[in-house]
Amino acid sequence: MRAPVSAQPLDAYQSLTPSCHTTSPSKTSKAASIMAMTVAQPAVLFLFLLLLPASSEAGAGGRKLIFILAGQSNMSGRGGATNGTWDGVVPPECAPSPRILRLNPELHWEEAREPLHAGIDVGNILGVGPGMPFAHAVLASSNRGAATVGLVPCAQGATPLANWTRGTELYDRMLTRARAALAQCDGRGELAAVLWFQGETDAMKREDAELYQGRMEALVRDVRRDLNSPDLIVIEVGIATAQYGGKFLNNVREAQKAVSRSIPNVMFVDAMGLPIASDYTHLTTQAQVQLGNMLAKSYLSKR
């Protein structure tokens, strides 16, 4: 596992604004003054045009799109990490970028890199997840106007939905991290969406599967209320596997679909059919890349 890189504050991506100062000549002829101004104006214009791409690249006012990544192991990522160790393979779609940040365990922004949930999904072997390809795809969209994508990893492996209800440790940690992310944006951050991939554990027991819809609907309402974001987009991934061969996979999937129909701005992205690793539970690295792009497409369709 790679060590975290040094922190890259969000403030580092502000726009550049050119300025120029002129003084009145005192001992030069009027003709010389006019000539100097004539020469200076193209130079100033050139400087402005030179700086303009940098300003545009930084986005309007240095806007930051912040995304919460929550759920269990397939959200935190096990791509390339299902055989006892991570293989270290990082596809180009998951490469680090100064425009993609993550909130680290100490609640500071740093340049994001795989494994994205390092220090968050504790006690597990981590690999590639959907967060980095998602962020790259969002930034690649030509009309989003974001200077930076800030990812807030919150997922924890092998956790049932009951462990994420309001007042639980995981729920409180998620809200604490989301609020810290916004607080470090100097008013330029936008809580854009929650990406949710969870349910494999709930597919093990009939009771959890039957309660899934109600619990998930409550979670969406609680998160929106507690983060003061009543229209917050929530994109839930339809699970493709059940932990330990659970028999209630289809029950959970139907519950997830029902949530997306019953609550506005909740969207369903289906992981069924994506490549599964040899452990029959987790998505492969390439599957996570595909999923990240699917999540981005879903998010962009609502913007």
| Torsion angle of C-alpha atoms 118, 119, 125, 127, degrees rounded to 10 | -10
Given strand 64-71, what is the order of strands in its sheet?
Answer: 109-111, 100-103, 148-153, 64-71, 189-197, 233-238, 266-270
Where is 208: in which H helix or E strand?
helix 206-226
Catalytic residue among 136, 202, 208, 282: 282
Catalytic residue among 56, 73, 208, 231: 73
The HSE-up count of residue 220 (CA atoms within 13 Å, CB side) is: 24
Is 229 in a helix, a strand, or coil?
coil
260 part of the active site = no
Cα distance between residue 277 and residue 287, in whole Å: 9
Catalytic residue among 87, 172, 186, 279: 279
Where is 250: in which H helix or E strand?
helix 249-262
In the chain, DSSP finds a helix count (H) and a strand count (E) of 7, 7
DSSP code, position 7: B
* 104 touches 3 (CB < 8 A): no
Q: What are the backbone angles phi and psi of residue 226, rounded to the nearest 5°?
A: -70, -25
172 part of the active site = no
97 part of the active site = no
Alpha carbon 21 to its chain centroid, in Å, reads 42
Catalytic residues: 73, 279, 282
